[in-house]
Amino acid sequence: MSARLGVNIDHVATLREARGESYPSLENAAEICLNSGADQITIHLREDRRHIQDKDVPIIRRVTKEKGKLMNLEMGCDPGIIEVALMHKPDWVCLVPEKREEQTTEGGLNLIDASHFQKIKESCIRLKDSIPNLKISLFVESDLPTLEKVCELGVGLVDAVEIHTGDYAIQYIAQNNVDSFLKEFERAKKFVEERGIACHAGHGLTNESVAPLIKKGLFEEYNIGHWIISESVFLGLEKVVRNLKELFEGNERL
Ligand code: PXP
């Protein structure tokens, strides 16, 4: 089976919010992605609501259900946003750190700090207790101390890690050597999978930078947004998603 492709459609909402218009339609975007081979729609409800709005969440939930595909809600541990998740019951929640001033999510969760660890643990418990069959992933860096803390939370509370690939992707695009990243990703995958936790990846990926990861069969799922929406300006959303899914599936046959 090929890796799952989660398409993050936040930046369709960024365009809409930039002019306060009702277009482009998030519903259409989700339908096109799912009809073109995406396995999942990912949206990030940020505290400042800069792109995705609360009203978008039930729409994406309905479309993913109708298509029999997955919905992944990325969110910080903010109590108001947890309430939105409880109301609309996504298939996956990906917990991420959130700073209002950041341009995008700038790194993984800090699980080493005891108070952050506790807050993340309490959020996982609240979400799992209230949403039947919910799966939770934690957006983290690939270092061993962090992964050990993930495993301390344990199977049952955490189903997957999503490894932050942003720094890797920057180095890849700059044509620098990325061997150390690939080695660390491999080590991370082995470490968590041996402990019953799945390994996903996301952030900053393009069709070029994702290719070596796919070829190595590193991750079970990839969440890709900014590049897909950017490339769609030239090629259209359907074609970009189709081509990417073909890349995923082509390597399955290698
Ligand atoms: N995964 C996580 C946890 C994210 O926060 C984001 C950005 O919202 C993505 C994946 C997608 O990143 P990008 O838009 O850079 O592809």
What digits encode the pLDDT tens for the residues 139-151? 999 999 999 999 9
Q: What pLDDT does 197 receive?
A: 98
Q: Quick one: what percent of the chain has pLDDT higher than 70? A: 96
Q: How far does the centroid of ligand 1 lie from the alpha carbon of residue 82, in Å?
A: 19
Residue 99 has pLDDT above 90, yes or no: no
Give the pLDDT score at 254. 34
For 105, the token pair is 């999510």
pLDDT exceeding 90 applies to what percent of the chain?
Answer: 93
Kindly list the protein residues whose Cβ atom lies closer than 6 A to any atom of ligand 1.
Answer: 8, 10, 44, 74, 94, 96, 104-105, 139, 162, 202-205, 223-227
- Tell me how far the alpha carbon of residue 76 lies from the centroid of ligand 1, in angstroms: 13
Q: How far apart are CA 211 and CA 162, in angstroms?
A: 17
Residue 136 DSSP symbol:
E
State the Cα–Cα distance between residues 180 and 175, nearest whole angstrom: 14
Work out the mean pLDDT of the chain and round it to a whole number. Answer: 95
Between 126-135, 223-232, 243-252, the lowest mean confidence (pLDDT) is in 243-252
CATH architecture, range 4-248? Alpha-Beta Barrel (3.20)
Question: Catalytic residue among 44, 51, 88, 200, which?
Answer: 44
Residue 253 banded pLDDT, cuts 50, 70, 90:
very low
Q: Where are the domains of the chain?
A: 4-248
